[in-house]
Amino acid sequence: MTLARPSAQPAPRSPFAFVGRAGRAARALTTAASALALAVGALTMAPAPAHAADPITTQEYFSYYHLDSAREKGYTGKGVTIALFDGPVDTSAPELAGANIVDKSRCTVNDSPDGVRHATDMATLLVSPYTGVAPDATLYTYQITSSDTQPGGTCVRGADTTDSIDKLINQAVDDGAQIISISLSNSEHGSEIKWAIANAISKGVIIVSSSGNGATDENRSHLGRWSGVVGVTAINTDGTFASYSSWGNGVVTAAVGGPVNTLDANTNEPVTVDGTSYSTPLVAGMLALARQKWPDATTNQILQSLVHSGLNPDHTWNDKTGYGAAALGSLVNDDPSQYPDENPILNKPGGSEPTADEVADYADGLIDPTTNRQVPDSYVYRGADDQVVLYLSDLKTPLHLGTSPRYHRK
Range of the domain at 324: 3-338
Give pLDDT, residue 185.
73
Q: Which of 323, 338, 353 is the last residue of a domain?
A: 338
How large is the average pLDDT for residues 239-257?
97
Q: Specify the pTM.
A: 0.88
Question: Do residues 325 and 379 both lie within one domain?
Answer: no
Final residue before a domain boundary, out of 338, 355, 373:
338
Angle between helices 299-308 and 276-293 (to 10 degrees): 120
Mean pLDDT of 321-329: 97
Percent of the chain with pLDDT over 70: 82
Q: Is residue 358 included in any domain, yes or no? A: no
Question: pLDDT at residue 261 above 60?
Answer: yes
pLDDT at position 11 is: 31
Give me the pLDDT at residue 40, please.
27
Domain assignment of residue 213, yes or no: yes
Same domain, 250 and 376: no
Decide if pLDDT at 288 tops 90.
yes
| Mean of pLDDT over the chain | 85
Does 357 fall in a domain? no
140 forms bridges with which residues in the sheet? Answer: 83, 102
| Across 170-179, 183-192, 224-233, 248-257, least confident range | 183-192
- Please state which of the ranges 12-26, 95-109, 122-136, 139-153 shows the lowest mean pLDDT: 12-26
Q: Is residue 349 part of a domain?
A: no
In this prediction, residue 187 has a pLDDT band, given cuts at 50, 70 and 90, of: low
Same domain flag for 148 and 41: yes
Question: In terms of domains, do 403 and 286 share one?
Answer: no
233 and 379 belong to one structural domain: no
Domains in the chain: how many in total? 2
C-alpha distances in Å from residue 3, one per residue of 15, 147, 165: 7, 4, 12
Give, in degrees to the nearest 5, the angle at Cα 246 between 321 and 80. 60
Q: Which of 167-176, 187-196, 345-354 has the highest mean pLDDT?
A: 167-176
Q: Which of 14-28, 33-47, 225-239, 373-387 has the highest mean pLDDT?
A: 225-239
Is 377 exposed, middle or buried, given 0-12, 13-18 or 19+ CB atoms closer than 10 A?
exposed
- For residues 331 and 380, state if they share a domain: no
pLDDT of residue 159: 67
CATH number, domain with residue 210: 3.40.50.200
The answer as to whether 360 is a domain residue is no
In this structure, are residues 132 and 168 in contact, taking their beta carbons and an 8 Å threshold? no
For residue range 116-137, what is the model confidence (pLDDT) as tens digits?
999 999 999 999 999 999 999 9
User: How far is CA 395 from each of CA 167, 362, 370, rounded to the nearest angstrom?
Assistant: 18, 17, 8
Judged against a pLDDT cut of 70, whether residue 144 lies above it is answered with: yes
On whether both 282 and 372 belong to a single domain, the answer is no
| Final residue belonging to a domain, choices 303, 338, 373 | 338
3-state per-residue secondary structure call for 10-42: CCCCCCEEECCEEEEECCCCCCHHHHHHHHHCC
**Do 250 and 149 share a domain, yes or no?**
yes
pLDDT for 86 beyond 90: yes
What is the model's pLDDT at position 156?
75
For residue 5, name the pLDDT band (cuts at 50, 70, 90): very low
Which residues are registered as beta bridge partners of 181? 84, 208
